[in-house]
Amino acid sequence: MPTRTSTARWQGSLKDGAGNMRLASGAYEGSFSYLSRFESGEGTNPEELIAAAHAGCFSMALSNVLGKAGLTPNSIETSATIHLDMPAGITKVELSTVGDVPGLSEADFIKHAEDAKANCPVSKALAAIEITLTAKLAS
């Protein structure tokens, strides 16, 4: 399997400094600061990028689980909300997913979503914290 790399550079003190994060693929580059991480400043933050990674990983894992069950989703839309509580750090992730999957009951969709949550690589990496899941079919 391939390895993935991202880089970050920080300059200055924690509260007055600023940084930049970049994906090696070039798909994303953005600034971050104390304000964007711990308050409401412009720019991104590590937790937002972890949330994006978790939402993407989970959506792909759920598509895989559904495929193994002989189902092809029209779409899966997932959001991930990261809770950063200092000084403890990241304490919780809330996943919320809506799937458009023809021929599937809501109960079976939830069962498949729970399987994906347990087996997505990012969920496994975050296993030390609480991960909750809300799953429903699109109306």
Supply the DSSP symbol for 85: E
Domain that holds residue 14: 6-38
Domain count, the chain: 2
Which tokens hold the place of 100? 């458009």
pLDDT value at residue 128: 95
Are 76 and 31 members of one domain?
no
What pTM did the predictor assign? 0.94
Residue 1 falls within a domain, yes or no? no
Are 64 and 123 members of one domain?
yes
Query: Phi first, then psi: what are they for 9, rounded to 5°?
Result: -130, 130
Residue 103 falls within a domain, yes or no? yes
Are 62 and 119 members of one domain?
yes
Cα–Cα nearest to 116, from 65, 50, 79 = 65
Cα–Cα nearest to 95, from 75, 108, 110 = 110
Are 65 and 133 members of one domain?
yes
At 83, which CATH number? 3.30.300.20
The distance of Cα 11 from the centroid of its chain, to the nearest Å, equals 27
The answer to whether the beta carbons of residues 80 and 52 sit under 8 Å apart is yes
Whether 88 shows a pLDDT value over 90: the answer reads yes
pLDDT tier at 111, thresholds 50, 70, 90: very high
Are 29 and 64 members of one domain?
no
